Structure 1
């Protein structure tokens, strides 16, 4: 079985406090951190044993995972498993990057977000250059707020041409055509992010070849649909895997709508769906709705 897993454990602490972040942050207690570590190590052990499947894993923590040693270790360990096609994580890249020397660069990947005002620009840029020097697959992105536009242009100009710079539409923001055009000049695929996508009743890969897993092993079709399909660790989820239409009216998050079969994003991001790396550098005018 080819299975893509989005894992989100109980970790919610972050070293940034971005005012536009939709995620609820907390200061994790030592007990909460121990619980998150135990949950992640359980998942990593399970994934490592699934040699009869071909797995792709994306860690999507509420908080920042790579400042925690157990997330770095999980990526390194899973990157060396022959049956793991890709292991990736969403990160603000505030952590050090030397640990990647122990990972398999053919398998590991990072989805990196730049947050102006939270980290010095040159520090962030230096880390992206280190990733490029190490041959680690990665994308870089930014939230499309007006005050971020010049920083996005600056970053796009500084990044190597092959590194994709994506732009996420700010939550709840309606963009004028002129605003959208400015962001599309930075990220030709921004039109996919600009508007929520109609998804209700439409076919989606989630629940069939893509699942969401929490720290207890509860399996759902995706992070945004709360109905449970079973549990990862007792195998009960497998009987529930089947094609099914989306029950929600719209989908407005990339990690959700990228799996809609009505969109061409599996072709756009062929080989790089989890880390948001396009198969080819997107040209102006290639985005859609």
Structure 2
């Protein structure tokens, strides 16, 4: 079986204090950090044992910043060398040291990097991206689409190589009019998928079939946004629940969720790069969006 696992342990601390993030500058206690480290070690050992003979893609989606913690760097390096791991990626602000990537397998390691203006200079962030390129590490780059950050996004797009995908996430609670959406779409031609939530109730989704959410104690859910457990990773009880089914939420407004909504066709757009949010070669990544992208992105509801 080919499975994508989104792993989120108890880590919730971050070195940044972005005003739009509830976990900004949060500190974990020593006990919380020890639990997070032990949970991650158990997960890494399970992947290494591969008890069901699956082919795995893994995306770490911590509430906080993982790469400032040695155990995430070590886990990513270890997992990148396992033959059953097609891809191992993590969402990161890219503030941590990057020398460790030299020990990882660039054929399977990837980073999903977010630039936060006001927390780091553009020059320093671009230097970190250059380090990743120098080691041949696949990565996407993105920002939150706040109006006050539009000029910075334009400058970042101009400074990045054309082949680096720059994604834009719609800001929570922000409404995008037609002109606003058009401005952001010139930077990210796939922005329309993020600009407003997607109706999802009853729509078939790969979550719970080919993609799963795993938390630190091994509880498996369809995705991060549906609380009903399917079973536990470590006793294998989740496997009996793997099947195609409709979404039970009324809307889906996060990329790591709606990327699996089958009607949107995003697995085709991001073929080979779903975990790290990198579109396939030939997919629109810069400039005017194609008619197909505009049409698919419009199949959502204006709730923001």
TM-score by length of 1: 0.98
When residues 23 and 221 of structure 1 are mapped into structure 2, their CA distance, relative to the original with a 3 A threshold, is: farther
The Cα of 1:24 is off from its aligned counterpart by 7.3
User: Structure 2 unaligned runs (5+)?
Assistant: 299-304
When residues 40 and 85 of structure 1 are mapped into structure 2, their CA distance, relative to the original with a 3 A threshold, is: same
Distance 1:138 1:163 in 2: 7
Matches within 5 A, 1:33-52: 33-50=33-50, 52=53
Matches within 5 A, 1:1-289: 1-23=1-23, 26-50=26-50, 52-280=53-281, 282=284, 283-286=287-290, 287=293, 288-289=297-298
TM-score by length of 2: 0.93
SS at match of 1:222: coil
The Cα of 1:267 is off from its aligned counterpart by 0.8
Deviations 1:154-192 (A, max 9, x none): 000000110000000001211011111110011111011
The Cα of 1:22 is off from its aligned counterpart by 4.8
SS at match of 1:141: strand
When residues 237 and 24 of structure 1 are mapped into structure 2, their CA distance, relative to the original with a 3 A threshold, is: farther
SS at match of 2:260: coil
Distance 1:73 1:49 in 2: 17
Distance 1:114 1:170 in 2: 14
The Cα of 1:139 is off from its aligned counterpart by 0.1
Deviations 1:233-253 (A, max 9, x none): 011001111111000011000
The Cα of 1:272 is off from its aligned counterpart by 0.2
Distance 1:169 1:233 in 2: 36
The Cα of 1:133 is off from its aligned counterpart by 1.4
The Cα of 1:34 is off from its aligned counterpart by 0.5
Distance 2:95 2:249 in 1: 34
Distance 1:127 1:80 in 2: 23
Alignment check: 8 A CA contact 2:7 2:214 kept: yes
Alignment RMSD, CA only? 1.1
Deviations 1:77-114 (A, max 9, x none): 00000010000000000011110000000000000000
Count of aligned residue pairs for this structure pair: 289
